[in-house]
Structure 1
Amino acid sequence: MFTKGSKIYSILTGSCPKCHQESMYVNKNPYALSQIFQMHERCSHCNTKYKIEPSFFYGSMYVSYGVGIAFAVAAFVISYMFIGLDKFTSFLAIVGTLIVFLPIIMRLSRNIWINLFIHYDKELVKK
């Protein structure tokens, strides 16, 4: 399930959605904030163009909303239900979680968005 050839692999690793051979990002570390949005123009292995059209990744903002909600719900469940914090402290835990994980949420959203449009091609791996 998490091996090359699955969408989950490409989404979690940030690798090329077509061949899964290299990272789409110039710097794999999402916490290098000055380079968080810097992507290679094309994959050096399969020549897939990452920006399919101008402003292509604006659509990832919609995905980012859903991913952010998932992180917020997870933070609430952990802080309120498992740890037993009060509602205000749980709210602070949610805000803190969203701030700390913002770079990861942004990268995950971009990865999910591009994987909706570009599909893995196992023939490229054989080359």
Structure 2
Amino acid sequence: MLKKGSKLYSILTGTCPKCHEESMYIIKNSYILSKVFDMHEKCSHCETKYKIEPSFFFGAMFVSYGVSVLIGIIAFLVSHFIFKTNLKTSFVSIVISLIALMPIIMRISRNIWINIFIHYDKNIKIKL
């Protein structure tokens, strides 16, 4: 399920959507907040340019909203129905979850956005 060649692999690992050989991000740790958006210009293996056009990743903001809503729903369901908390505590768990996962949400959203437009190519010639 999570192997090279799948969109899910590229989205969850942050690798090049074309060849799946290199991380798109300069620093892999998304919790270094000053570097969370720092990306390579292009893949060193297949030469795929990550920023297709100026402000390309602006669209990732809309993906981020959807991912945040999903995480908020999951946080609510877990806190309210599994831990049997009241609504106020469930709301606090949503806020804490979103703040704690913010850097991951930002990167996952960028990964989803670029994978919409660039597809894996198993026949690509990798530069050595």
TM-score by length of 1: 0.98
CA RMSD of aligned residues (A): 1.1
Partner Cα separation in structure 1 for residue 73 and residue 27 of structure 2: 29
Structure 2 CA distance for partners of 1:56 and 1:10, relative to 1, 3 Å: same
Q: 1:10-25 counterparts in 2 under 5 A?
A: 10-25=10-25
1:124, distance to aligned residue in structure 2 (A): 2.0
Report runs of 4+ in structure 1 exceeding 6 Å deviation.
none
Partner Cα separation in structure 2 for residue 97 and residue 13 of structure 1: 21
Who is 1:66 aligned against? Answer: 66
Who is 2:99 aligned against? Answer: 99
Q: How many residues in Structure 1 have an aligned counterpart in Structure 2? A: 127
The answer (yes or no) to whether the contact 2:46–2:126 under 8 Å persists in 1 is no
Who is 1:51 aligned against? Answer: 51
Structure 2 CA distance for partners of 1:4 and 1:125, relative to 1, 3 Å: farther
* % identical aligned pairs: 62
Gaps of 5+ in 1: none
The 3-state SS of whatever aligns with 2:20 is: coil
Partner Cα separation in structure 1 for residue 124 and residue 35 of structure 2: 28
CA-to-partner distance for each residue in 1:35-88, whole Å, 9 max, x for gaps? Answer: 000000000000000000000000000000000001000100000010000000
Partner Cα separation in structure 2 for residue 125 and residue 46 of structure 1: 7
Structure 2 CA distance for partners of 1:77 and 1:125, relative to 1, 3 Å: farther
TM-score by length of 2: 0.97
